[in-house]
Amino acid sequence: MTLALDTPRLHLSQVQIEDWVEYYSILSAPETSAHTDLPRAPTEKRAKGLVGWMIRTSQQAKGFAWMVRLVETDVLIGCIRLNSIDKSASVAVIGYEFGKSWWGHGYATESLIAVTKHCHEGMKLFRLEAWTLPGNPASDRVLIKAGFRYEGTQRQKMIIGSQRFDQRLFGRLADD
Ligand SMILES: CC(C)(COP(=O)(O)OP(=O)(O)OC[C@H]1O[C@@H](n2cnc3c(N)ncnc32)[C@H](O)[C@@H]1OP(=O)(O)O)[C@@H](O)C(=O)NCCC(=O)NCCS
């Protein structure tokens, strides 16, 4: 598997445990988790635990995570990952989050395009899925710009805290 991916402005590298410090500053901002199932107000320990989980899922070939850095400054601006890989169905579920300071520059789209290309061509995954919560049009837009199609809303699929949410499902096939 190719571990590192490069785009004109970004370097995507396989997550390492030491990334948790920079990742924590992104994860702990309330706007990062607002429309996700990420932990609200995470402790440093929780952020480190999440990075540890990303590493374990890659070691078990159940997922894979890239940390996204700006080529120019090497600053960590986000994370994009395969949260689950189903090898028999050739399907993976993608998730991502970027720090608010870097929103609106096309970085999420640039990363997602690189990752989807790698998933289809390098990892030979046929179907990629992603979901968004209602009220996150920026993420819907990123998915559409990266070639995903909106496939419908799964009603009340998610429980976050004690609240249920609809899930908006997006999919992208290798031959789309
Ligand atoms: C969603 C997220 C990844 C987008 O990152 P980003 O780097 O700003 O994304 P991009 O710049 O590549 O593209 C954003 C697009 O959304 C559009 N957009 C932003 N806010 C919008 C809004 N309120 N309504 C409609 N479109 C919106 C932008 O205009 C842009 O589209 P355009 O290029 O056609 O103009 C980022 O906001 C984020 O990390 N949010 C918190 C975590 C999260 O929600 N993760 C996804 C969980 S499903």
- Give the C-alpha separation, 78 to 72, whole Å: 15
Distances (CA, A) of 152 to 68, 82, 139, 146: 29, 21, 15, 17
Residue 2 has pLDDT above 90, yes or no: no
Q: Which helix (H) or strand (E) holds 143?
A: helix 137-145
Average pLDDT of the residues of the chain: 96
Ligand 1 pocket: which of 23, 35, 139, 153 to mutate (most atoms <8 Å of CB)?
139
Domain count, the chain: 1
Q: For ligand 1, say whether the CB of 103 is within 6 Å of any of its atoms.
A: yes
The per-residue pLDDT for range 43-75, each reduced to its tens digit, is 999 999 999 999 999 999 999 999 999 999 999
User: Across residues 111-118, what is the average pLDDT?
Assistant: 98
Q: For ligand 1, say whether the CB of 35 is within 6 Å of any of its atoms.
A: yes
CATH number at residue 10: 3.40.630.30
Q: Which domain holds residue 120?
A: 5-173
Place of tokens 């080529």: 71
What atom of ligand 1 comes closest to residue 31's alpha carbon? 41
